[in-house]
Amino acid sequence: MITLAGLPLRIVPVQVMQATRPHRMLERQWMVNRAGGWMVLLSGFFEPLFYLLSIRVGFGALVGDVEDGGRLIPYAEFVAPALMAASAMNGALYESTMNVFFRLKYDKVYDAALATPLTSGDVALGEIGYATIRGALYSSAFLVTMWALGMTSSAWAIGMLPVAILISFAFSAIGMAATTYMRSWADFEYVPSIMLPMFLFSATFYPLSSYGDWQWVVQISPLYHGVAMTRSLNLGEWSWAFGGHLVVLVAMALFGVTLTAKRIERLLLP
Amino acid sequence: MPTDSNAPLITAEHLVKRFGDFVAVDGIDVEVPRGESFGFLGPNGAGKSSTMRMIGCVSPVTEGRLRIFGLDPATDGKQIRSRMGVVPQMDQLDEQLTVEDNMILYGRYFDIPRAECKRRAKELLEFVQLTDRAKSKIEPLSGGMKRRVTIARSLINEPELLLLDEPTTGLDPQARHVLWDRLYRLKQRGVTLVLTTHYMDEAEQLCDRLVVMDQGKIVAMGSPRELIEKHSPREVLELRYPAGTNDERASDLDGVGNRREVLPDRVLIYADDGEAALAEVHRRGSRPESALVRRSSLEDVFLRLTGRSLVD
């Protein structure tokens, strides 16, 4: 049984502290996928392959090396960890926005679950957990592809996986919390308009230094903190900043889970 | 809790539910003993569903005291829900799963072992006569079948108390009778049923005792028979006049029967002797297109108590 009751975290609300059955929501997903939903996940494995191939074959040769933190690295190795972070974000957000919205408003999956001993915290943690798993699967595929194409720079690269899981969890939590505010499908038009700039301008394709005076804008992007972590792990280079990035993502995850549980209570248990 | 076997399963004292300024439930008192089949009857917006949601521990009590199995929903909601089955107004079946998987998953929500869930699912699908649909997806099922799956699913945890919010709304007569029969069997097995409905025949069929709600308040309580005896004369004479002339013709009938009600499509005359009232109508030279004498039903009580165009 998964329980958070033992954690000495006063900031986590009672809904989440009392969650004792979030794994039931995962079980539901497992049953749904068993009935033929695995194809959705499979599509996520091809994406990284195409991305990485295009960079290795095309951009890499054109751009040459990039200077980041006073060190020259081949462009492919510079970009790949950032794309891995982005894939964790994408997988998480696909699941925690549209799919969650469908289950929330149309399939009434959560209404049905809340009539049983399950609580709003169980639903929030379980659903965020599943979106995290989806993001984590995408990034695992990414990591394997990177390694197979020789784009990992150090043995520390394996550490990118837990970081990708954290990125995925943070974005799942925020994504699901945001979804509880969506009124109709039309509201989802905003999702790409936030995701795309975040994808492009999180120091994904060029180093933070190239933004000059506008670096602070990039640092607002949560994805930037994920990218910074995966990149430093890929190179096996450490700095105190790593801890800072970690704190940002953990805070985001906690905030998202808390808000989601509260919103579910407000929407479905009035 | 063996000592509790005689204690009421549900006790509500001065129960209030407010949404902002809107008062959905306005201080009701209800007691449901174990094994009883209890109904909340009322027009749309009377506060039935809000009451059911509070009993189902999915809506906090605004004011008053509510106990289910002697437990407080505010603190023991999880425990109460684990002993209860809920059939919501709209089926909330998982469209992404088969009928059988819907049942198994629901059992898992109650921490019932998977093998046991399978066993119960099989048994319950037999009970609602849907064994041959076990592997079907939800979408192709008819409304009546979906309803039966929902009821079967709500029984997966072998509940002591079953809440049914408008169990047969929108179903055809055959489907309704199948459902009533199944619910009656559950009652015989000792399951306490609490249901809401605005169908009078359903309340008469299923409820040992019921309350009539209107605008958040209880306006009458008793067995169907008691309510009819108390609030309506024994018989009802239904007269149909050519369309649009009911009001005008009705004035010819002053003093016939105990009470008169003019509906858009017919005139109802409540009387202890319907045939005598009809004879009086004919004696006055009034010629309705059709006339029918019937026993008074809960519907008449309902119309009277929740007040629809009453002419006393």
User: B241 is in which domain, residue-wise?
Assistant: 233-295
Per-residue pLDDT at B311: 35
Mean per-residue pLDDT over chain A, rounded: 88
Q: Closest-CA residue in chain B for A35? A: B97
Per-residue pLDDT at B66: 97
Asked if residue B164 and residue B273 are part of one domain, the reply reads no
pLDDT band at A18 (very low <50, low <70, confident <90, very high): confident
Q: Do B108 and A27 touch (CB under 8 A)?
A: yes
When CB atoms are compared, the residue of A32, A118, A270 closest to B97 is: A32
Helices (H) and strands (E) in chain A, counts: 13, 2
Asked if residue B89 and residue B26 are part of one domain, the reply reads yes
Q: Are A175 and A132 in contact (CB under 8 A)?
A: no
Residue of B78, B110, B158 for testing the chain A interface, max A β-carbons within 10 Å? B78
Q: Are B184 and B17 in contact (CB under 8 A)?
A: no
DSSP characters for chain B? -GGGGGS-SEEEEEEEEEETTEEEEEEEEEEE-TT-EEEEE-STTSSHHHHHHHHTTSS--SEEEEEETTB-HHHHHHHHHHTEEEE-SS----TTSBHHHHHHHHHHHTT--HHHHHHHHHHHHHHTT-GGGTTSBSTTS-HHHHHHHHHHHHTTT--SEEEEESTTTT--HHHHHHHHHHHHHHHHTT-EEEEEES-HHHHHHH-SEEEEEETTEEEEEE-HHHHHHHHS-SEEEEEE-STT-HHHHHGGGTTSSSEEEE-SS-EEEEES-HHHHHHHHHHTT---SEEEEEE--HHHHHHHHHTSSEE-
Distances (CA, A) of B225 to B209, B210, B236, B296, B298: 9, 10, 15, 10, 8
Cα distance from B302 to chain A (closest Cα, Å)? 29
- Phi, psi values for residue B269, rounded to 5°: -120, 120
Cα distance from B188 to chain A (closest Cα, Å)? 24
Per-residue pLDDT at A63: 81
Asked if residue B278 and residue B209 are part of one domain, the reply reads no
Number of separate domains in chain A? 1
Q: Do A35 and B97 touch (CB under 8 A)?
A: yes
Per-residue pLDDT at B310: 34
Q: Do B96 and A108 touch (CB under 8 A)?
A: no
Residue B172 inside a domain? The answer is yes
DSSP summary character for residue A206: S
Q: Do B88 and A116 touch (CB under 8 A)?
A: no
Asked if residue B63 and residue B154 are part of one domain, the reply reads yes
Asked if residue B78 and residue B165 are part of one domain, the reply reads yes
Q: Do A31 and B101 touch (CB under 8 A)?
A: yes
Asked if residue B237 and residue B217 are part of one domain, the reply reads no
Q: Closest-CA residue in chain B for A122? A: B109
When CB atoms are compared, the residue of A27, A35, A115 closest to B86 is: A115
Residue of B96, B106, B149 for testing the chain A interface, max A β-carbons within 10 Å? B96
Q: Do B104 and A28 touch (CB under 8 A)?
A: no
Residue A229 inside a domain? The answer is yes
pLDDT band at A255 (very low <50, low <70, confident <90, very high): very high
Structural tokens at position A93: 């957000």
Per-residue pLDDT at B254: 82
Asked if residue B141 and residue B264 are part of one domain, the reply reads no
Q: Do B81 and A113 touch (CB under 8 A)?
A: no
Residue B305 inside a domain? The answer is no
Q: Give 10-residue mean pLDDT values along chain B (312 residues).
A: 69 96 95 95 88 96 96 94 94 93 97 97 94 95 93 95 91 86 92 89 89 92 89 86 77 82 84 88 86 84 68 35
Q: Do A117 and B86 touch (CB under 8 A)?
A: no
Asked if residue B204 and residue B253 are part of one domain, the reply reads no
Residue A132 inside a domain? The answer is yes
pLDDT digit string, tens, across residues A87-135: 999 889 989 999 999 999 999 999 999 999 999 999 999 999 999 999 9
Residue B161 inside a domain? The answer is yes
Per-residue pLDDT at B60: 95
Per-residue pLDDT at A9: 54
Asked if residue B254 and residue B180 are part of one domain, the reply reads no
User: A175 is in which domain, residue-wise?
Assistant: 41-58+76-268
Q: Closest-CA residue in chain B for A21? A: B109
A65-68 vs B84-87, strand pairing mode = unpaired
- Determine which of A9-18, A41-50, B11-20 has the lowest per-residue pLDDT on average: A9-18
Per-residue pLDDT at B28: 96
Per-residue pLDDT at A268: 93
CATH of the domain at B263: 3.30.70
Residue B301 inside a domain? The answer is no
Cα distance from B174 to chain A (closest Cα, Å)? 27
Residue A7 inside a domain? The answer is no
Q: Look at residue A250 and tell me whether its pLDDT is greater than 70.
A: yes
Contacts of B162 in chain A (CB under 8 A): none
Per-residue pLDDT at B3: 45
Cα distance from B266 to chain A (closest Cα, Å)? 41
Residue A204 inside a domain? The answer is yes
Q: Do A109 and B94 touch (CB under 8 A)?
A: yes
- Is B56 touching A (CB cutoff 8 A)? yes
Per-residue pLDDT at B1: 44
Number of separate domains in chain B? 2
User: How far is Cα A214 from Cα A234, in angstroms, rounded to an integer?
Assistant: 26
- Is B226 touching A (CB cutoff 8 A)? no
User: How far is Cα B146 from Cα B232, in angstroms, rounded to an integer?
Assistant: 37
Which of B223, B246, B270 is the last residue in one of the domains?
B223
Contacts of A2 in chain B (CB under 8 A): none
Q: What percent of chain A has pLDDT over 90?
A: 50
Q: Are B218 and B212 in contact (CB under 8 A)?
A: yes
Q: Closest-CA residue in chain A for B79? A: A117
- Is B88 touching A (CB cutoff 8 A)? yes
Residues of A in CB contact (< 8 Å) with B are 21, 24, 27-28, 31-32, 35, 37, 107-109, 111-119, 268-270
Residue A117 inside a domain? The answer is yes
DSSP summary character for residue A239: -
Residue of B83, B89, B92 for testing the chain A interface, max A β-carbons within 10 Å? B92
When CB atoms are compared, the residue of B59, B94, B106 closest to A270 is: B59
Asked if residue B73 and residue B199 are part of one domain, the reply reads yes
Q: Do B110 and A269 touch (CB under 8 A)?
A: no
CATH of the domain at B212: 3.40.50.300
Adjacent-strand bridge partners of B87: B164
Mean pLDDT of A64-84: 85
Which of B170, B199, B223 is the last residue in one of the domains?
B223
- Chain B residues 169-188 with CB within 8 Å of chain A: none
Q: Do B92 and A112 touch (CB under 8 A)?
A: yes
Asked if residue B251 and residue B145 are part of one domain, the reply reads no
Of B156, B157, B154, B163, whose CA–CA distance to B58 is shortest? B163
pLDDT band at A11 (very low <50, low <70, confident <90, very high): low
Asked if residue B107 and residue B242 are part of one domain, the reply reads no
